[in-house]
Structure 1
Amino acid sequence: MSEHPQARPIKGVHHTAFRCRDAAQTIWFYRDVLGLVDPTGVVLEEVTGTGENDPYMHVFFQMKNGEYIAFFDAPGSADPDWFARKESFDMHYAFEVASEEDLLAMQARIQSFGVTALGPVDHHDFVRSIYMYDPNGIQIELTYRLPDHDKVLGAAAATFDQLLADWQARTREEKVAKFGAEAIDRRARRPAQV
């Protein structure tokens, strides 16, 4: 018998949250440019859970599948450097559209607001995407699934354990030099017993 309680199924994503420079500017981009529904939100004076005094607005945009993308407008604790454009590998958010026609229509819409939307870019025969940056330096991807999407990812899943093992062997030395063996070998630690 495992020492860990049985995992319960995770239903999906409720929200993904990011810091924003300004709520009104962020609402313009996500509501007006991308066409998400009118946001909702709350203003709180303290950080929930810590009680730290840091007034903030928490803004939520709901998508058609019920999931949200959310933002924190907390100028008191904001670091201006955080809003520099992030590299795609560091952070990006990918929204899904239904078809190539929708992707191209959205690209034209986005560009009509003066926002650059690069692409479309093909990704290994499973998705095609366009890319832009939001006002907070976050790369935004709009993507749609190509006909072989499930086949490509299914084939990758069948060999993923070996692919991971090979990748770990190939990159371990570089990672140890950069991050240290302790950081690479460490697994999440259990919290101290209360």
Structure 2
Amino acid sequence: MSTNNGIHHLAVATADIKTQIDFFNDVLGCELVALYWMHGVEGAWHGFMKLSDTCSIAFVQTPDVPGIERTLGVTHAGSGGGPCAGGAMQHVAFNVDSLDDLLAMRDRIRSRNITVFGPLDHGMCHSIYFAGPEDLSLEVAFSEQPIDGRAWIDPEVVGLAGISADELERYRNPEPFESTGTPVPQPEFDPSLPWQRGIPQELYEAIITMPDEVLTETMSESTPPVLVDG
């Protein structure tokens, strides 16, 4: 069955990639594993800070970002409970494997003169909260066991969200998908459905109508900036 099994990377825009790299390295102990010209984006840098072998927090710096104002309640939430624009990152929570690890991370953060509060016991997880550069709202969390939907899906909120009983059953039991080995054709472009509106529509339509093998051949950039033996 085809399904997702984790976050590969979460990309955050930055006006100062060095400051973000330094913070995540020193305060959170993350290893820098990639820093290169972002593929296909003129003037952009892409940096990856390792969380695990398959998961990173990533940063994107473009020449335009320094001129975009950060506004709490619009572009940034400013806290783990604050509002911001739909589709924007409200906060990100990193995982640790035990309560002892969570307390050690709290102490590490404080040892770098960054204020952090918690842990708070949310039942489904224990969490600590703090801020990162450029008003990032950050959390580190630990769950003793997988989240049990029988206990943590509130019927009142289900109703307020307009979710029917049939929809809830489907949400709790996603329809499996088995690949037949034959690629599914690209659907017709429908601008009323989600699409990457940061790309000019004419260019976007040209990209999505390319045969997959042509797109892979013409737009891929797989050579790293530094060639390593072995």
Q: When the two structures are superposed, what TM-score results if normalisation uses the length of structure 1?
A: 0.68
Q: Which moved more, 1:103-112 or 1:10-19?
A: 10-19
- Who is 1:105 aligned against? 104
Instruction: Please show how residues 158-169 of structure 1 align to structure 2 within 5 Å.
Output: 162-163=155-156, 165-169=158-162
Tell me: CA distance 1:10–1:101, structure 2 relative to 1, closer, same or farther (3 Å).
closer
Q: Secondary structure at the match of 1:108?
A: helix
| Whole-angstrom CA distance in 2 between matches of 1:70 and 1:76 | 18
Amino acid across the alignment from 2:139: E
Letter in 1 for 2:124: F
* Residue number in structure 1 paired with 2:77: 86
Unpaired runs of 5+ residues, structure 1, are 1-6, 48-52, 171-187
Q: What is the CA deviation profile of residues 104-163 of structure 1, one whole-angstrom value per residue up to 9, with x for unaligned ones?
A: 11111111111111111111x1111111111021111011113xx43x523247x66x55
| Segments of 4+ moved more than 4 angstroms | 162-165, 190-194
Displacement of 1:41 in angstroms is 1.7
Equivalent residue letter for 2:34: T
CA positional deviation for 1:169: 4.9
Q: CA deviation at 1:102?
A: 1.2
Distance 1:121 1:103 in 2: 11
Matched with 2:114 is 115
Relative to structure 1, is the Cα distance of residues 104 and 189 closer, same or farther in structure 2, using a 3 angstrom cutoff? same
TM-score by length of 2: 0.59
What amino acid maps onto 1:143 in structure 2? A
* Contact residue 27 and residue 39 of structure 1 kept, 8 A: no
Question: SS in structure 1 opposite 2:108?
Answer: helix
Partners of 2:13 and 2:60 within 8 A in 1? yes
Question: Percent identity of the aligned residues?
Answer: 27
Is the CA contact (8 Å cut-off) linking 1:20 and 1:136 kept in structure 2?
yes
Q: Which residue of 2 aligns with 1:29?
A: 23
Change (3 A) 1:11 1:105: closer
- Contact 2:15 2:65 (C-alpha < 8 Å) held by counterparts: no
Q: Distance in 2 between matches of 1:66 and 1:42?
A: 18
Is 1:41 aligned to residue 30 of structure 2? no
Contact (CA 8 Å) 1:95, 1:141: kept in 2 or not? yes
Higher strand share: 1
- In structure 2, relative to structure 1, the CA distance for the partners of 1:44 and 1:66 (3 Å cut) is closer
RMSD after superposition: 3.0
